[in-house]
Amino acid sequence: MTSLPQEIMEFVSRDGYEPLKAKALAKKLGIKKKRAEEFEQVLQDLLANHRLQATETGKIKLPSQRVGLHGILRKVASGNGYVVLHEPKPADLTQDIFVEARDLGDAQSGDEVAVQLVSRVKSGGQRCGRIIDVVQRATNRFVGVYFEEEGQGYVFIDGSNYEEAIWVGDPGAKGARPDDKVVIEMIRFPTNFQVGEAVLTEVLGPRGMPGIDTLTIIHEYGLPTDFPPEVQEQSRQQAEAFDEQNLADRLDLTGETIVTIDPKDARDFDDAISLKRTENGHWQLGVHIADVSYFVQPNTPLDDEAYKRGTSVYLPTKVIPMLPEILSNGLASLQQGRVRFVKSAFIEFSPEGIPLETRLANSAIKVQQRFAYEQVMSYLNDADTRAAELKPEISQLLMDMQQLARLLRKRRFQKGALELSMPEVRLNFDDDGRVSGAYEAEHDESHRIIEEFMLAANIAVAQELTDRGILFLRRTHGEPRAEKMKLFGEFVDSLGLSLPSTQGRHDLQKLLDETAGTPLERAVHFAFLRSLKQAEYSPAEEGHYALAAENYCHFTSPIRRYPDLTVHRILDKLFLGNGKYRGESIEKLDKQAAHCSQTERRAERAERELTKLKLLEFMEGKIGSEFDAVVTGVERFGIFCQCLNIPAEGMIHISVLSELDQFDFERESHSLIGRRTNMRLRLGGMVRVKVTHVDRDRRQLDLSLLKILAEIATAKKKPAGTKPRQGRGQGRKGTASTKSAASKPSQKKTRKRK
């Protein structure tokens, strides 16, 4: 079904469209009175995001050439770039816009840019453009390696986006020494015609020293570390004022059988479970969540800092919490044997697991037993150990939890929920924070029990707020774009599998189930994951595609996620009897949603990037070693592979593959196909590779192909004489002009990376 933003954009983008005022446009689109408010809000969003433009008389039209189309720039190693347009895209632009290096100006990867279409068109019909404005910088702050040349200081920025050094002026600023890792603030971004200029703001320490990689990522992503003094002081005041005996206006559950189940190395515990059976066979599930809103009041230093952070960040060797530890690991943590304040969601289920009623309350609990996942699994599998070591009521609770979770899980998948089989690999570290090994994390039934109960609580709370007509921050996951699913269907077809053209959720899950545990698993599950949109926070009633839930929110982790805290505050207003409360304004929620989505993605990127750095350091000692690997990406310029035993990802460049054959890129099947040998390198295929080079500063791992271990499927043969269609992709070897000058960056020839 076409969304309202898409309807508006498609109509305004039609040939012959004459600008109309909002009311006339609504009439043309057939917008009924009951959708008038929704139409007005969507239209305002499109105008605010420069997808549309209003004339001086208020008529709606596409943005002028001066404003351009807006999107995010992604540069490739050749120096060229692509602009990924914001949704909804104009109807005639289904692909990213290609921008040559000479037309990029000073825009950098990750920047939000305005792009103007030009007359050039690439093969395959891809439109070309030029950057006319940088709307918002991804960052002005960078980390790199300091060096000196001819009495001047320079920095090579980490990563592969900046080929040439950035001038930082007189040598030795901030005490920097050659080969130090440093932080710089960009004053003038480099272009294709002039070098960049920056100021050195901080010296992190000698390159390669233990802990420098973590500091690098913290500064690169602008992650907050120490809490301001006023925030720490407010936390201490909360601790001193907390009185666990004062249960005024709280439901006293301190005598109930309540447990927590968490990872064995967990430091904060924000969810606990109770479960009873009634005489009529119904289930009474209690999901009890740490009442962070009791301690973190709106418009206080503590709240401002929590909002600024948005989320806790779980780096491989360090946790950066959203809240000070006196709260996150203390007062708000549901520790065994301690009275703790919670928000409780009591959900009544029929014997078949159908939700019947939800009750919400401010409560006080005292956890009777803390379990680690590993313990729960052993107790569930061993009745004798369970009877010998657990109280009868706790033993029964675990068995009931298992039974109800199985019912809920079965019902979820009957409704069309989706589940991917993507193994999660964890790393082992030595005392210096260096990778010493890796293992595949287990996700057994003990994890699924808690997962089902948290999902049930999030859905129940979202449904309750929806039924009351309250605006709140939802966790949304939109349906995948039609063109993405079309490509996925073509890919599946190329593997010899069948998928109905309608591609309903049940059909997709059937395909995922059929390929799980087979040689096709990685290929299909990787490709499907890349076809999905990214989940985000939004007040819009878009539903959650992967969970097959019409209403969904985050309620269960307020210690580490700010959106959960906003939901808890809504419940506080309801508990006070404010029947007229309808939530915060849509403008405030939109702002919170964008900010929380951004901080969440920043945290995820930082975690991935530090993990990558740690793995590259490990692989430096493995030059010449051989590994079995899975193909995780296929582009025109080469293939990306992830080693199986240690999850490091590297690339085999097309120039290396040319020693074996000349390869053509087939976009539909995510394959490189040898012209002479018909060798097929395909997404999800298993290969044997050798580590040839590691560059930690550029964050690159180079591999060579030894052999294909297993063909994942027999490809459908194409008629003789046809060539695979060429898709998007650029080689990493590109030409770039050298910049020249004397003592200042605009006149000096700067050193390029080797």
Of 61, 79, 98, the position where a domain reaches its end is 61
pLDDT grade, residue 67 (50/70/90)? Answer: low
> Would you give the distance in Å from CA 18 to the centre of its chain?
40
pLDDT in tens, 32-66: 888 888 888 888 878 877 778 887 678 888 775 44
Residues 57 and 114 in one domain: no
3-state secondary structure of 28: helix
pLDDT in tens, 125-144: 789 999 988 888 888 899 99
pLDDT at 749 over 60: no
Residue type at position 603: A
Of 582, 608, 634, the position where a domain reaches its end is 608
pLDDT at 348 over 70: yes
Residues 572 and 701 in one domain: no
pLDDT grade, residue 264 (50/70/90)? Answer: confident
Count of H helices and E strands in the chain? 18, 34
Rounded (5°) CA angle 204-209-212 = 40
Residues 109 and 146 in one domain: no
**In the prediction, which pLDDT does 730 show?**
34
pLDDT at 200 over 80: yes
Cα separation, 82 vs 727, in Å, equals 13
pLDDT grade, residue 753 (50/70/90)? Answer: low
pLDDT in tens, 585-597: 999 999 999 999 9
pLDDT grade, residue 751 (50/70/90)? Answer: low
3-state secondary structure of 76: coil
Tell me, yes or no, whether 750 lies in a domain. Answer: no
pLDDT in tens, 424-472: 778 889 888 888 888 777 788 999 999 999 999 999 999 999 999 999 9
Instruction: Assign residue 32 the CATH number of its domain.
Output: 1.10.10
pLDDT in tens, 500-550: 877 788 999 999 998 888 878 888 888 898 889 999 999 999 999 999 999
pLDDT at 277 over 60: yes
Residues 509 and 629 in one domain: no
pLDDT in tens, 481-514: 888 888 888 888 888 888 887 778 899 999 999 8
Of 561, 577, 608, the position where a domain reaches its end is 608
Tell me, yes or no, whether 492 lies in a domain. Answer: yes
**In the prediction, which pLDDT does 731 show?**
34
More confident of the two residues 390 and 713: 390
More confident of the two residues 712 and 181: 181
**In the prediction, which pLDDT does 754 show?**
58
**Mean pLDDT over the full length of the chain:** 87
Residues 590 and 534 in one domain: yes
Q: Residues 151-177: what's their mean pLDDT?
A: 91
CB atoms under 10 Å from CB of 511, counted, come to 21
pLDDT grade, residue 161 (50/70/90)? Answer: confident
**In the prediction, which pLDDT does 218 show?**
95
Residues 45 and 73 in one domain: no
**In the prediction, which pLDDT does 440 show?**
75
More confident of the two residues 635 and 738: 635
Tell me, yes or no, whether 451 lies in a domain. Answer: no
**In the prediction, which pLDDT does 711 show?**
59
Cα separation, 308 vs 327, in Å, equals 17
Closest CA to 312 of 554, 561, 535, 557: 561
Residues 500 and 567 in one domain: yes
pLDDT at 750 over 60: no
**In the prediction, which pLDDT does 439 show?**
78
Secondary structure (H, E, C), 229-274: HHHHHHHHHHHHHCCCCCCCCCEEECCCCCEEEECCCCCCCCEEEE
pLDDT in tens, 330-346: 999 999 999 999 999 99
pLDDT grade, residue 668 (50/70/90)? Answer: confident
pLDDT at 644 over 90: no
Buried b (16+ CB within 10 A) or exposed e, 109-143: bbbbbbbbbeeeeeeeebbbbbbbbbbebeeebbb
Closest CA to 481 of 210, 96, 171, 58: 96
In this structure, what DSSP letter does residue 322 have?
S
pLDDT grade, residue 13 (50/70/90)? Answer: confident
Cβ–Cβ < 8 Å for 623, 633: no
pLDDT grade, residue 307 (50/70/90)? Answer: very high
Tell me, yes or no, whether 616 lies in a domain. Answer: no
3-state secondary structure of 303: helix
Residues 673 and 564 in one domain: no
Q: Residues 650-675: what's their mean pLDDT?
A: 90
What φ, ψ does residue 53 adopt, rounded to 5°? -135, 145
Residues 170 and 110 in one domain: no
More confident of the two residues 354 and 442: 354
Domain carrying residue 78: 69-136
More confident of the two residues 742 and 149: 149
pLDDT in tens, 232-252: 999 999 999 999 888 988 999
Q: Residues 596-621: what's their mean pLDDT?
A: 94
Tell me, yes or no, whether 627 lies in a domain. Answer: yes
Domain total of the chain? 5
**In the prediction, which pLDDT does 48 show?**
74
Residues 469 and 548 in one domain: yes
Tell me, yes or no, whether 437 lies in a domain. Answer: no
Instruction: Assign residue 165 the CATH number of its domain.
Output: 2.40.50.700
Residues 483 and 586 in one domain: yes
Q: Residues 562-571: what's their mean pLDDT?
A: 97
Residues 505 and 592 in one domain: yes
pLDDT at 744 over 70: no
pLDDT in tens, 692-734: 999 999 999 999 999 998 655 443 333 333 333 333 333 333 3
**In the prediction, which pLDDT does 723 show?**
37
Instruction: Assign residue 642 the CATH number of its domain.
Output: 2.40.50.140
Tell me, yes or no, whether 130 lies in a domain. Answer: yes
Tell me, yes or no, whether 482 lies in a domain. Answer: yes
What φ, ψ does residue 188 adopt, rounded to 5°? -135, 120
